[in-house]
């Protein structure tokens, strides 16, 4: 059963913009926020959301009751009016398109027409949510983007300080700096903003994925910001992964690993790692994901036979989207994923999925007694697992489109850490109980 088909235990509410394949939406819903509205532009991603329980809203601006389908508005967020939701939304979530700030993109930043941060600010004004969760690429931390990132944070802090359409963002930023020195006429129109740089692997995601997550709480609620920061501290580490390999507990979980693979991996384990536990959990690896973790625990994905790397004919073990794909290559600048490390960052790619990020080394040698390992493309299901999507989450479209949706998504487990912390903060805040 899809995660969005189960009602949360508490009737807190949420709105999801730039919903994509639903990674952050799943996390927010699991944290107890009932969806009142989804918005997404990409047609295939909208089909994915519908396949998992969302339903086109139509023109009727109506707040759904618990148990009703979750309304989906497909199309440009710039055309969306959300004022009918004002006073009804606990959390506004979304990851504005990252291409303007991505290290792999054109990197035009605020000058790029795809920059949708202004639409997040507009939504904050229209909805006045209690909290906001916003995810984006780490490219925003580049020195060239730092002034605009600071402007984003100030806009989220003071979204009701309206910008004159005739002025530049730099001029408006100066106005925000001045406004910060004045007491707010209405504390419900100011937000306390926390930005966290994250590596998803530090949060239990079997993938190296560097991002920033910005969370804002309405000032009038009295949220304990220090406690929130404590609640989103990383709990996993590379050192703990190395310790688990050195003490054998990792290999105990994966008893079928060939001796030559284990020897190769152990030769690369850092020798300066302290064997004294520090309270952190081991990074999850690609091998862990294939074996099954969290909702997929106990459900190992079967191997793809080398004779069956044909997308038209073979589906392994009955798992949806666990289908072989031929002609994988390794070339300069595109090193493949290794099973006993977290996977590389899953990317959407401007012209499809990049080479190295979707290729994996297997445990199989090219020749008996050799040193070269065979490689293949990751299946969509393997990719979904390193994004911590449950196996029953449906993805719509051809293979390339499914991979694109996953590359654009927020890993569910990463989103869950922040959504759970937001829910906890609102539960404890004296002004958030109404």
pLDDT at 4: 56
pLDDT at 115: 73
Q: Rounded CA gap, 34 and 85, in Å?
A: 13
pLDDT band, very low/low/confident/very high, at 32 (cuts 50, 70, 90): very high
- 241-287 pLDDT, tens digit per residue, is 999 999 999 999 999 999 999 999 999 999 888 888 899 999 999 99
Domain, as residue range, for 174: 3-235+406-428
Same domain, 39 and 120: yes
Same domain, 172 and 151: yes
User: Does residue 416 form part of some domain?
Assistant: yes
Q: Provide the domain count of the chain.
A: 2
Residue 315 in this model has a pLDDT that exceeds 80 = no
Residue 347 in this model has a pLDDT that exceeds 70 = yes
Same domain, 60 and 103: yes
| Dihedral (Cα; 119, 51, 423, 90), 10-degree rounding | 50
pLDDT band, very low/low/confident/very high, at 15 (cuts 50, 70, 90): very high
- 195-254 pLDDT, tens digit per residue, is 999 999 999 999 999 999 999 999 999 999 999 999 999 999 999 999 999 999 999 999
Dump strand ranges (E) for 221-333: 236-237, 281-282
Asked which of 223, 252, 279 is the last residue of a domain, the reply is: 279
Which tokens in the block code for residue 57?
A: 């809203």
Asked which of 227, 253, 279 is the last residue of a domain, the reply is: 279
Which tokens in the block code for residue 32?
A: 């107890």
pLDDT at 101: 47
pLDDT at 184: 81
3-state secondary structure of 32: coil
Same domain, 132 and 83: yes
Q: Which residues are catalytic?
A: 98
Same domain, 163 and 254: no
pLDDT at 116: 82
User: Does residue 323 form part of some domain?
Assistant: no
User: Does residue 345 form part of some domain?
Assistant: no
Q: Rounded CA gap, 92 and 374, in Å?
A: 45
User: Does residue 322 form part of some domain?
Assistant: no
Same domain, 173 and 139: yes
Same domain, 58 and 199: yes
Mean pLDDT of all residues in 141-152 = 89
Asked which of 279, 304, 334 is the last residue of a domain, the reply is: 279
Same domain, 173 and 273: no
Q: What is the CATH number of the domain that holds 40?
A: 3.40.50.150
| Dihedral (Cα; 291, 296, 298, 303), 10-degree rounding | -40
Mean pLDDT of all residues in 110-118 = 66
User: Does residue 25 form part of some domain?
Assistant: yes
Same domain, 63 and 98: yes
- For residues 135 and 325, the model is more confident at 135
Same domain, 207 and 263: no
Same domain, 220 and 250: no
Same domain, 185 and 258: no
């Amino acid at each position: 059963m899809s995660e969005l088909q189960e009602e949360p235990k508490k009737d807190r509410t949420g709105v999801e913009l730039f919903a994509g394949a639903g990674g952050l939406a799943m996390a927010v819903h699991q944290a107890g926020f009932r969806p009142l509205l989804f918005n997404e532009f990409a047609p295939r991603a909208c089909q994915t959301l519908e396949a998992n329980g969302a339903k086109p809203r139509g023109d009727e601006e109506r707040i759904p009751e618990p148990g009703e389908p979750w309304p989906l508005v497909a199309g440009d967020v710039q055309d969306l009016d959300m004022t009918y939701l004002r006073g009804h939304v606990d959390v506004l979530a979304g990851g504005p398109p990252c291409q303007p700030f991505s290290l792999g993109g054109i990197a035009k930043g605020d000058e790029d027409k795809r920059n949708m941060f202004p639409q997040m600010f507009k939504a904050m004004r229209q909805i006045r949510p209690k909290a906001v969760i916003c995810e984006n690429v780490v490219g925003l931390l580049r020195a060239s983007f730092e002034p605009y990132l600071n402007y984003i944070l100030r806009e989220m802090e003071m979204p009701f300080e309206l910008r004159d359409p005739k002025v530049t963002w730099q001029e408006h930023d100066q106005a925000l700096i001045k406004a910060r020195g004045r007491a707010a006429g209405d504390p419900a129109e100011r937000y306390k903003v926390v930005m966290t740089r994250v590596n998803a692997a530090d949060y239990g995601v079997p993938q190296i994925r560097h991002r920033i997550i910005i969370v804002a709480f309405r000032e009038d609620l009295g949220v304990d910001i220090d406690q929130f920061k404590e609640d989103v501290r990383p709990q996993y580490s590379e050192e703990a992964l190395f310790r688990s390999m050195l003490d054998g507990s990792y290999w105990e979980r994966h008893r079928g690993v060939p001796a030559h693979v284990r020897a190769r991996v152990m030769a690369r384990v850092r020798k300066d790692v302290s064997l004294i536990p520090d309270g952190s959990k081991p990074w999850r690896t690609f091998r862990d994901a294939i074996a099954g973790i969290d909702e997929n625990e106990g459900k190992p994905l079967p191997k793809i036979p080398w004779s069956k790397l044909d997308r038209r004919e073979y589906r392994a073990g009955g798992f949806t989207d666990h289908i072989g794909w031929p002609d994988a290559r390794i070339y300069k600048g595109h090193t493949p994923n290794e099973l006993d490390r977290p996977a590389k960052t899953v990317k959407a790619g401007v012209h499809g999925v990049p080479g190295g990020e979707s290729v994996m080394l297997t445990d199989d040698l090219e020749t008996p007694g050799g040193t070269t390992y065979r490689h293949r493309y990751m299946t969509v299901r393997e990719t979904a697992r390193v994004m911590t999507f449950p196996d029953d989450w449906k993805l719509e479209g051809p293979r390339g489109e499914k991979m694109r949706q996953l590359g654009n998504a927020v890993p569910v487990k990463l989103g869950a850490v922040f959504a759970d912390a937001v829910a906890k903060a609102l539960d404890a805040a004296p002004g958030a109980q109404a």
